[in-house]
Amino acid sequence: MDIEHYNINEEQAKFSSDPSERGKYKIVNKGFYANILTLGLRNTHPINSYHVDAAVEQHKELVKLNLTANYHFAYKKHGTGLDIRFFVGRFLYNKDEPKNSRFNYNLSGGQASDYLYNEIFLGRNTTERAFNQQFSVTDGGFKNLVLAETDGQFIAANKWLNAVNLKSNFINKYISFYADLGLVGTISRDENNNEIDKVSDLAYDIGVSLNVIPNMFEIYFPFTTSSELNQLSYLETIRFTLNINTLNPLKLVRDFQF
């Protein structure tokens, strides 16, 4: 069991609303806190290992419940196997959905999901396209940029998110095939403040990954995705993980082999 407390302070630019001061801004400090209780279950068997984590996350105006399960089935050849990840996320309480949108779930992990600053992103707070293609396997765990949508409209995951992630390497540990599937539940309000619930269409991505340094530096090339992001070129849809915070140089040298 783990109990964590986060106290996040951020600097934000507040632009002037005066037309004569267009483009001028001042830096303001804003902050929030989070309390997280996590219960975990582990099995480190070399063939059928798994770990399951259930976490309750509480902020000032909301409470989330997240369940993440990872299972690994090892093939006969060293370094190969099938990885299955399940994620179920629920808002148990959310006082103001639009105001708390930064805490929404995301199908594709990345900076948007890392509001607690647990990950190291090379392009955090930059507009450099290549750096912004870095992501982490959080929330829905999708490897490529996929947005939840229904009736052709993108929707926000401000109620719940369910996802399953599959990844398998048959030849060696440096090349894998992957597939991600997910559904999103959203809540909105009409002019009378009545609750409107919607469920997204099935979201998915399928592709192949190049595992340069397995579990640390991996590049994901999509074959197909459910989101028609026409403004992006194919190169812009390629994404990568760079888990610097898990780097253990001695372990990398010991485990490196063809």
Long-range own/partner contacts, residues 242-247 (CB < 8 A, 24 or more apart): 242/120, 242/122, 242/134, 242/216, 242/217, 243/119, 243/136, 243/215, 243/216, 243/217, 244/120, 244/216, 245/118, 245/119, 245/120, 246/215, 246/216, 247/216
**Range of 189's domain?**
46-255
Separation CA 221–CA 69 (nearest Å): 24
Q: What is the pLDDT of residue 205?
A: 96
Residue 41 in domain: no
Going residue by residue through the chain (258 aa), what tens digit of pLDDT does each one get?
899 999 999 877 777 666 766 666 777 788 899 999 999 999 887 778 999 999 999 999 999 999 999 999 989 888 899 999 999 999 999 988 888 998 999 999 777 788 898 888 887 777 667 778 888 999 999 999 999 998 878 888 999 999 999 999 988 899 999 999 999 999 887 777 778 888 999 999 999 999 999 888 999 999 999 988 878 889 989 999 988 876 655 454 545 554
Cα gap 171→248, rounded to integer Å:
25
What pLDDT was estimated at residue 16? 67
**189-192 contacts: CB < 8 A, separation 24 or more?**
189/97
Beta-bridge partners for 2: 38
Report CA 231 to chain centroid distance, whole Å.
22
> Is residue 238 situated within a structural domain?
yes
| Residue 19 domain-assigned (yes or no) | no
For residue 2, is it within any domain?
A: no
Give domain status of residue 216, yes or no. Answer: yes
Distance CA 217, CA 174 (A): 10
- Whole-angstrom Cα distance, residue 43 to residue 52? 9
Q: How many CB atoms lie within 10 A of CB 183?
A: 18
Domain total in the chain:
1
pLDDT of 208: 97
Q: Give a yes or no: residue 20 inside a domain.
A: no
Residue 234: inside a domain, yes or no?
yes
**pTM of the entire predicted model:** 0.86
pLDDT at 105: 95
